[in-house]
Structures are given as structure tokens and as C-alpha cells.
Amino acid sequence: MPQLETVDKILDAAELLFAEKGFSETSLRMITSKANVNLAAVNYHFGSKNALIQAVFSRFLGPLSKIMEDTSKEHGWGKDNIPSLEDILKLYMHSLLKIPSSHENGVAVFMRLMGLAYTQSQGHLRLYLEQEYAKTFRLFLELVRLSTPELSTKERFWRTQFTLGSIAFTMSSIQPLAEILENSKDAKANPEEIVDLIVPYMLAGITAPAMDVN
Amino acid sequence: MPQLETVDKILDAAELLFAEKGFSETSLRMITSKANVNLAAVNYHFGSKNALIQAVFSRFLGPLSKIMEDTSKEHGWGKDNIPSLEDILKLYMHSLLKIPSSHENGVAVFMRLMGLAYTQSQGHLRLYLEQEYAKTFRLFLELVRLSTPELSTKERFWRTQFTLGSIAFTMSSIQPLAEILENSKDAKANPEEIVDLIVPYMLAGITAPAMDVN
DNA sequence: AACTGTTTCAAACATACGTTTGACCACGCA
DNA sequence: TGCGTGGTCAAACGTATGTTTGAAACAGTT
């Protein structure tokens, strides 16, 4: 078994603990003891706890960002080659499954972290994510816009919100909600299955007819 | 201006701060100084910080729970009188708007709190919500089940998840995402509008055809 | 072997937290 | 007026946190 570097051991432990407990609820001592490294190693290698949180996200988002942009380029998507909404959702959702990870459940952990990033109002994290990954996100939004010309701006805006919510929340609360519903049989699903289940849901939701006011 | 009791002043301040910052990130000192009461008042009146968190939820969920159950009863909904999914969603979503609150944006604050409750893994809170409000939640799920006989159990389970996610996440992250998208014009919407926008989205999503595997 | 830069380590630091304490106040009733 | 009870208050308590320190260990180079 190859000896992991301290930096990677910290990132591995931190990523799991953050996903399980949240950022504020996870102390550096929990992380360093799980990683079997000295407490001071975090501040030595990363500088601060906040910087560690950002590093955890970078390790996921760097590759994901590249995969998503490459996908768009490969298909030549753009103003002159407008993809269907179904293709966009399928390909973007499936690129989530391609994120490399040092352990199984990497996708679930990552999605849970993304959910936490938006829900817990860690100001520094939000700022960091905006600055680093706004480009990728805007590309996705632009493709959605091009592929749904029939929607009003307001409808499209909010339906995109709802869609992001479905993804972030679902992935971020798989365990807890499964407990509530005591429905373990049906609740058990791997990321691949969930992606296949969520795409038609989102597709139908975004392209739904507007409600008759009543 | 009527002098609010200490208990209510604490609840008002806590509810806003929790919604803004999260539970762990909000200290009792922030709450008591915003409420203009003594620090010890929280432990005196509520017993602990965790108990205060639960009290904040009780103030919302008590009335909401009653409204939702009354609504079902008024319509005589049940096995022998199965409502349409559209009616269920409309009525349940609109009962959110009826929650009494001491300030405007009460609905948004409440929804953000609910989102936090699921995302932040506050064990005590989850336990409390399950015990107190499982009954209301199960009634909703049962109605959804009755009104969507065409869905497989697994599809229904996950689509319900996605739907809950849309609600919780959307309401809980209105500000932050609006900033990201720099789309303030379209992002501005009051709770009534959002409810009208989200019902058709959810309806279409839940009743969507299954995806052709590809 | 001696030197140099990097990494690890135990210990300490300062601070913020939730909670508890005991004195103090205000008010209603005898 | 005196007394008792429920509420308020400043202060302190113990603990956990993120961070810093300075010495020790290590690795590579000359």
C-alpha cells in the first residue's frame, strides 16, 4: 500500500468528515486524528481551515470543470449548434459520474459537499466558488437558454433554480431522508441510478407548460 | 409599540440569525444582543441552545401542521376521495403562504430554516422533527402515492425527493444564487410568485415519463 | 560528515463558545 | 410593610476551537 502524502491524507479525511458533519461542525482535530497526521499539519500545508475547505473543493471541481468544458467543445455546442435540453442534462449529469475520487461514493460525497456549500453560508467558500468556477456554470446556463427559447426569462431562471435545488438537495441528503422514510429498499440507489432517475424529472420540469392561474 | 416578552424577542432574533448564518455559526451572544436581552435568558427560558433551535421550528411548524391537516380534512381527502396531484401540490404549497409570522419574508425565512434543518446534520433537530411532524409528512406522501398509481415505488420515492429538494433548496438560497447569476431583475420574486412558478415544475417532474435508457 | 531546507511534532496560546452561578430587582399578596 | 417568587443581570466557569511556536526529525547535497 503506497504511503500517502500528508496533504492527500488530510484532504481525504477532511472531505469525508465535512460531507458527514458539515464545515463548522468538523474540527481540525477530528480531521488530523482521522488522517493520522499532526494537528499543525493543516495550517502548515494549507494555511488555515478555510483554505483547507477550498482545497477540498478544488480537488473535485478542477477535474469536473475540465470534463464539462471538454464535453461542450467535443460536441461543438454553441450558438450555431444548439443541443437539445435532454442532451445537455444527460451529458452534464453524467460528467458528475466521471469525477475521479480516491474512494467509492466519491460522487455522493462531492454532491453532498456542493449542497453544503450553498446551504451553509460560508462566505469565503461562496466567493471562492464564484470566482473559480463561474465560467463553467455560465456555459451551462447559456446552453440551457439557447435550448429553451420558448420559456420566458423569469420562468427559465426559476426553473433552473428548482433544478439545481433538486440536484444539490437530493444528493446532499440521501442518508438522512432515507432514514425518515424508513424505506430503505427503494431508497437504496447508486449515483448512476439517481442520475438516470433525475434527468427525466428535470427535463419535464423545465419544459413544463406554465400553470393556468387559479 | 407593545413591549415584546423576552421569549418572543429571543425567538424573533434567533429565527432571523439562524436563517442567515446557520445554527452552529450563530452564537447565543449574537442572538441575545440582537434581541436586547441578557445572555443567560436563553438558558433560563429554553434550557439550552438546542432547545431554542427546536422552539424556533415549533413556532412555525405547529401552525403549518395544523393548516395542512385541516386542508386535507376539509376536502375529505383519503382512500375513497383521491385528489389530483395538481390539487395536492397547489394546496400544500399554498398553505406555506398561510404561516403566521411576526415579520415579512416569514415564508422565505421558514423555508430557509427547513432547508438548513435537512442539510446541516443537527442530529437532535432531525430527531425532533421526525417525532413531532412525521404524521403530517406521511399524510402528504400517502396522498401523493394515491394520486400517482402509474409510478413505480422507486420512481415515486426519488421524484418526491427531487421535489422536496426543489422547495427546500430554492427557498433556502434565494439571495446567494441571485448574486451569482447577477440577474436581479428576474430573480426578484415574492413567495406567492415562486409558489405559482414551482407547482407546474413539480407537477411535470413527478408525472414525467421514464427516460429511455440511452 | 556537515550543512540546508523542508516537514513533523508536542505544547502552548488566545479566543469564543454554551452554560452556570449568585446577587439583585420587581411585582403581587398577605 | 414584609415576604416570596419569577425574572434579569454581570460575572465567571470549563471546554473546545483555530492558530502559532520552537525544537526535533528528516532528506538531499556537497
Nucleotides of C under 7 A from a protein CB: 7-12, 16-22
Do the Cβ atoms of A189 and B25 come within 8 Å? Answer: no
Write down the pLDDT at residue B209. 87
Residues of B in contact with A163 (CB under 8 A): 166
- C-beta atoms of B169 and A173 within 8 A: no
Which portions of chain B are predicted below pLDDT 50? 1-2, 176-184
Rg of chain B over all Cα atoms, to the nearest angstrom: 19
Give the residue on B whose Cα is nearest the Cα of A114.
B119
| CA nearest to A110, candidates A178, A11, A29 | A11
Can you give the pLDDT at residue A182?
A: 45
Q: Which residues pair with B78 in a beta bridge?
A: B81
Beta bridge partners, A81, equal A78
pLDDT of A180 = 39
Asked if B172 has any chain A CB less than 8 Å from its own CB, the reply is yes
Residues of A with CB below 8 A from B153's CB? 186
Write down the pLDDT at residue A176.
46
What is the predicted pLDDT for the residue at A188? 60
**Do residues B197 and A155 make contact, with C-beta atoms less than 8 angstroms apart?**
yes
Tell whether A50 lies on the interface with B, counting CB pairs under 8 A: no
| pTM > 0.75: yes or no | yes
- Distance CA(A18)–CA(A13), nearest Å, equals 9
Q: What is the pLDDT along chain A (214 residues), one digit of tens a residue?
A: 345 689 999 999 999 999 888 899 999 999 999 999 999 999 999 999 999 999 999 999 999 999 999 998 999 998 899 999 999 999 988 898 888 887 767 777 888 888 888 777 667 888 888 888 888 888 888 999 999 999 998 889 889 888 888 887 776 665 543 443 444 455 566 778 888 888 999 999 999 987 655 5
Residue among A135, A169, A195 with most chain B CBs within 10 A, to mutate: A169
Residues 6+ apart with CB under 8 A from A89: A199, A202, A203
The spacing between the Cα labelled CA in B108 and the C1' in D10, in angstroms, equals: 37
Question: Would you put residue B180 in left (φ > 0), alpha (ψ -120 to 50) or beta?
Answer: alpha
Each residue of B164-194: pLDDT tens digit?
Answer: 888 877 766 555 434 434 444 555 667 788 8
Amino acid at site B214: N
Torsion angle (degrees, nearest 10) of CA B75, B154, A164, A77: -130
Neighbouring CB atoms inside 10 A of A100's CB total: 10
Q: How many CA atoms lie within 13 A of A86 on its CB side?
A: 9
| CB distance under 7 Å to strand D: residues | A 26-30, 39-40, 42-43, 48-50; B 6, 37-41, 44-45
Q: What is the pLDDT of residues A21-72, one digit of tens each?
A: 889 999 999 999 999 999 999 999 999 999 999 999 999 999 999 999 999 8
On chain B, the residues whose CB falls within 8 A of the CB of A167 are 165
- Interchain CB contact of B141 with A (< 8 Å): yes
Q: Which residues contact A161 (CB under 8 A, 6 or more apart)?
A: B169, B170, B177
Q: Is A209 on the interface with B (CB under 8 A)?
A: yes
**String of b and e for A117-130 (b: at least 16 CB within 10 Å)?**
bbbbbbeebbebbe
Segment (H or E) for A21: helix A6-21
